[in-house]
């Protein structure tokens, strides 16, 4: 069903949920069972849920005795190779009480630019959903290069949502909603609803690098949300701590209204994401 308003999330047929590194790695790993519980509740009512999860590099860092995110590609790849295994294990352990099985899907930007690879990825994800498996999607950091990386998993989540024609996309953040300015600044006001054709030029969404374990931030979420909304997919941006309320259709976060006449989906990813 089409998710035109936030409340429709409670009955959406297919939902993509994205969570960032800072919400689930290190001392924040306790959130994994919380997020899984909310997804399991949606799964129980019959929804098809895809989880786009960052965190492979951040999860692998302690095993490589790294205190900060590595800057060279080879070490990032090594950390991801270790961390992806641990990350999916943690998700599967949290899913076990709900009798839900996870399926790992690793993608690169090149996979979604190539028609054959894109078709194969879509077919595999559709089959996983049909088998009631929870696809856990992440960038394939062990083979990605600086030139072809998604750059952040907000964009990956938007492209996956378009690929599978999702009804809604939920981008989980560290804050409850987006603001007119960085929330630490005086006069910053929370944003409730953003129309599909809204002019956001007067708003300031801050830097894209937000912590030592991941990339992303408000600006990347806005860009990804606008991309998905232009394709007719409603998008909610809110805190990972509010994931249960978000999937229940409660009035939380910032809602990006889907375009009533969606843009034709291109054959590959959009290179430039405008705000």
Tens-digit pLDDT profile for residues 229-274? 999 999 999 999 999 999 999 999 999 999 987 765 544 444 333 3
Q: Pick from 140, 218, 172, 144: which is nearest to 49 by CA?
A: 172
Q: What is the pLDDT of residue 200?
A: 83
Rounded distance between C-alpha atoms, residue 64 and residue 75, angstroms: 9
- The conformational region for residue 151 under phi > 0 = left, psi -120 to 50 = alpha, else beta, is left
Mean pLDDT in the chain? Answer: 87
CB atoms within 10 A of CB 132: 12
Binding residues for substrate: 54, 141, 153
Binding residues for ATP: 18, 173-174
For residue 192, is pLDDT > 60? yes
Q: What is the pLDDT of residue 264?
A: 55
Are 162 and 132 a contacting pair, CB within 8 Å?
no
Q: What is the pLDDT of residue 127?
A: 98
For residue 6, is pLDDT > 60? yes
Identify the structural domains of the chain with CATH numbers, from first to last: 6-256 (3.40.1160.10)
Alpha carbon 50 to chain centroid, angstroms: 9
Binding residues: 18, 54, 141, 153, 173-174
Q: What is the pLDDT of residue 206?
A: 57
Rounded distance between C-alpha atoms, residue 205 and residue 275, angstroms: 10
Can you tell me whether residue 249 is helix, strand or coil? Answer: coil
- pLDDT band at residue 172 using 50, 70 and 90 as cut-offs: very high
Q: Pick from 206, 203, 260: which is nearest to 231 by CA?
A: 260
Q: What is the pLDDT of residue 143?
A: 77
Q: What is the pLDDT of residue 263?
A: 64
Q: What is the pLDDT of residue 151?
A: 55
For residue 176, is pLDDT > 50? yes
The angle formed by the CA atoms of residues 252, 133 and 160, to the nearest 5 degrees, is 55
CB atoms within 10 A of CB 66: 16
Q: What is the pLDDT of residue 149?
A: 59
Q: What is the pLDDT of residue 152?
A: 66
Q: What is the pLDDT of residue 203?
A: 75
Q: Where are the beta strands (DSSP E) in the chain?
A: 14-19, 48-53, 102-107, 134-139, 168-173, 193-194, 234-239, 254-256
**φ, ψ of residue 99 in degrees (nearest 5):** 55, 40
Q: What is the pLDDT of residues 52-95, one digit of tens each?
A: 998 999 999 999 999 988 888 889 889 999 999 999 999 999 99
For residue 30, is pLDDT > 90? yes
Can you tell me whether residue 242 is helix, strand or coil? Answer: helix
For residue 219, is pLDDT > 50? yes
């Amino acid at each position: 069903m089409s998710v035109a308003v936030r409340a429709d999330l409670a009955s959406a047929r297919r939902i993509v949920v994205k969570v960032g590194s800072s919400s689930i790695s290190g001392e924040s790993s306790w959130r994994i069972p919380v997020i899984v519980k909310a997804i399991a509740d949606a799964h129980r009512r019959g929804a098809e849920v895809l989880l786009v999860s960052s965190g492979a590099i951040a999860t692998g860092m302690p095993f490589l005795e790294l205190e900060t995110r590595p800057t060279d590609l080879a070490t990032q790849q090594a950390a991801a190779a270790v961390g992806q295994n641990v990350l999916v294990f943690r998700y599967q352990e949290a899913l076990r009480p709900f009798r839900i099985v996870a399926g790992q899907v690793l993608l690169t930007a090149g996979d979604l630019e190539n028609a054959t690879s894109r078709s194969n990825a879509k077919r595999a994800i559709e089959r996983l959903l049909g088998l009631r498996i929870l696809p856990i999607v992440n960038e394939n950091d062990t083979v990605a290069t600086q030139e072809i990386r998604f750059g952040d998993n907000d964009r990956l989540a938007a492209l996956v949502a378009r690929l599978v024609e999702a009804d809604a996309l939920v981008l989980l953040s560290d804050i409850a909603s987006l603001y007119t300015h960085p929330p630490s600044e005086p006069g910053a006001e929370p944003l409730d609803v953003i129309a599909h054709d809204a002019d956001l030029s007067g708003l300031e969404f801050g830097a894209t690098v937000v912590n030592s374990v991941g990339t992303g931030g408000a600006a990347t979420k806005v860009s990804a949300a606008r991309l998905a909304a232009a394709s007719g997919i409603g998008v909610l941006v809110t805190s990972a701590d509010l994931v249960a309320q978000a999937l229940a259709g409660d009035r939380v976060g910032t809602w990006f209204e889907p375009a009533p006449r969606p843009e034709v989906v291109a054959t590959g990813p959009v290179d430039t994401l405008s705000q």
